[in-house]
Amino acid sequence: MRLTGKTAIEYAEIMGLPISCYTTPIEEARDDLTVDEAEDIVREDDQLIYFDANAWYVETDDTYAYDGATVLQDGLVYADPSPIMLNDWHALQRPIFQHRIAWGAARREGREPSHDGEYMMLYWTDDSTEGWIAEDNAGVCCTDDENYVEVCRDATEELQAEAAAIQTEIDDAVESPGNIITGAGGHATEILREMGWILPAPDPNE
């Protein structure tokens, strides 16, 4: 991710690495700026300074969800993880979070799901405008385009009430970071690729 302005300077200083700048009115583009040189330039135009970090920049104060992140004044930088196995090896293009939501007997009885027919998995990113998807053991069951209440609109009154409670849990979950994704079904993986959240990656073991 390309950091710019004061954020780029702050992160590069923490990492002990040189800073880059685009061509300015007085000199050509450079990739070896010191902190002092970068600060002189950023006072004139903060968009001229940048640093390409192999990481994500996330505006949050939730350091628990981003264990090991480099904390900056106006956000934090979270190290890019190695490729993960989502039916095949993929590289995350942004932080993708997951949250398990119980339904059916597990939800009614207030217990942990005992098999994959008793829960759905919710996936979202650090950008709330990107939406979310949820899948059960049959595939993607609802999205921000057609939420769970809408999916269950023809169900019994009891199931509609459960759907409303599940949708509330979804809405609450996507308001903040969660646990980083560790897996997904085939249908969800396909949609995550279509959305550009993940890209195929080479096998790190080869």
Nearest Cα neighbor of 86 from 187, 206, 195 is 187
The reported pTM is 0.71
Q: Which residues contact 31 (CB under 8 A, 6 or more apart)?
A: 18, 20
pLDDT in tens, 50-99: 998 877 777 777 776 676 778 888 777 877 666 888 889 998 888 899 99
Q: What does the pLDDT read at residue 54?
A: 77
* Residues in CB range of 70: below 8 A, 6 or more apart: 11, 14, 15, 55, 76, 77, 78, 79
Whether residue 114 is predicted with pLDDT greater than 90 in this model: the reply is yes
Q: What pLDDT score does 123 carry?
A: 97
Check whether 128 has a pLDDT greater than 90: no
Each domain of the chain, given as residue ranges in start order, spans: 2-77, 82-200
Convert the pLDDT of each residue in 131-178 to its tens digit.
999 999 999 999 999 999 999 999 999 999 999 999 999 999 999 888
The DSSP bridge partners found for residue 46 are: none
